[in-house]
């Protein structure tokens, strides 16, 4: 005969169930948050575009709650802007602000590349070569696909730098500049692909100075294209 569950045990079980539910909800919230961040950093949403919670929830196959939570976090990070009427939009970026962000990106991302050179593995190089083949493929014709692959390429390097603080700072800058990618035409692909070859070669040689210089060159030339595209859009 089974012993009856005591009140204390039942209470404990109840707390455990609630705790597990909280963990599951937090995991879902984080997943949606990361998905929206990636969309912004990859230029999937244009500056000035209104983000509607129901449409996002439907697209991501989740309820409104995790979307609302993610939007709130991104507003706090200034990746999104909430208007007085409660509409949420992707903020516009002025040309001066863009140039400022680009200058800081060159400093931080070049340093991350130099650090990554000291930790470069054959696995990292293989991953970068695979991404580079996709980026340079003649069949690549979708703007959003290119910038998503480009973000993956760069972030694989910055992750290899093994500096969580530096990585976080770089992510914040990409959240600000990502929407500008939507102004940039696919002509960017031919110019951006060649620079990646120099970065890979520098990492293969585990040459910190060469990696730093190659990333700085890539970002500087890309920044010129972004600035021209934004100036033409304003």
**pLDDT by residue (tens digit) across 170-206?**
999 999 888 888 777 656 555 566 789 999 999 999 9
pLDDT tens, position by position, 127-163 = 999 999 998 886 666 777 888 899 999 999 999 999 9
Region of residue 93 (phi > 0: left; psi between -120 and 50: alpha; otherwise: beta): beta
User: Which part of the chain has CATH 1.20.120.530?
Assistant: 95-233
pLDDT attached to residue 199 = 97
pLDDT band for position 10 (50/70/90)?
very low
User: Which part of the chain has CATH 1.10.10.10?
Assistant: 15-89
- 15-89: which CATH number, 1.10.10.10, 3.30.460.80, 3.40.462.40, 1.10.3210.10? 1.10.10.10
Mention every residue, 6+ apart, whose C-beta is less than 8 A from residue 100: none
What architecture is the 95-233 domain classified under in CATH? Up-down Bundle (1.20)
**Confidence check: pLDDT of 124 > 50:** yes
Q: Which of 195, 186, 200, 194 is nearest to 139 (CA)?
A: 186
Alpha carbon distance 170, 47 (integer Å): 20
pLDDT attached to residue 153 = 96
**Confidence check: pLDDT of 17 > 90:** no
pTM: 0.79
What one-character-per-residue DSSP string does 112-161 give? Answer: HHHHHHTT--HHHHHHHHHHHHHHH-TT---HHHHHHHHHHHHHHHHHHT
**Confidence check: pLDDT of 15 > 70:** no
pLDDT band for position 12 (50/70/90)?
very low
pLDDT attached to residue 230 = 77
Structural tokens at position 209:
């100075």
């Amino acid at each position: 005969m089974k012993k009856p569950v005591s009140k204390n045990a039942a209470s404990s079980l109840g707390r455990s169930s609630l705790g597990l539910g909280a963990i599951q909800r937090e995991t879902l919230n984080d997943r949606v948050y990361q998905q929206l961040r990636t969309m912004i950093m990859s230029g999937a949403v244009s500056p000035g575009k209104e983000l509607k919670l129901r449409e996002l929830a439907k697209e991501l196959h989740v309820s409104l709650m995790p979307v609302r939570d993610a939007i709130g976090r991104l507003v706090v990070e200034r990746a999104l802007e909430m208007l007085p009427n409660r509409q949420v939009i992707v903020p516009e970026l002025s040309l001066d602000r863009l140039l400022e962000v680009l200058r800081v990106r060159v400093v931080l991302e070049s340093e991350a590349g130099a650090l990554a050179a000291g930790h470069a593995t054959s696995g990292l190089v293989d991953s970068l070569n695979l991404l580079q083949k996709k980026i340079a493929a003649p069949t690549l014709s979708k703007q959003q696909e290119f910038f998503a692959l480009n973000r993956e390429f760069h972030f694989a390097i910055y992750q290899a730098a093994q500096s969580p603080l530096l990585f976080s700072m770089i992510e914040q800058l990409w959240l600000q500049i990502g929407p500008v990618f939507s102004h940039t035409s696919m002509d960017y692909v031919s110019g951006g692909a060649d620079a990646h070859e120099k970065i890979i070669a520098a990492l293969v040689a585990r040459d910190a100075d060469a990696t730093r210089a190659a990333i700085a060159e890539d970002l500087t030339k890309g920044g010129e294209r972004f600035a021209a595209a934004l100036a033409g859009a304003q």
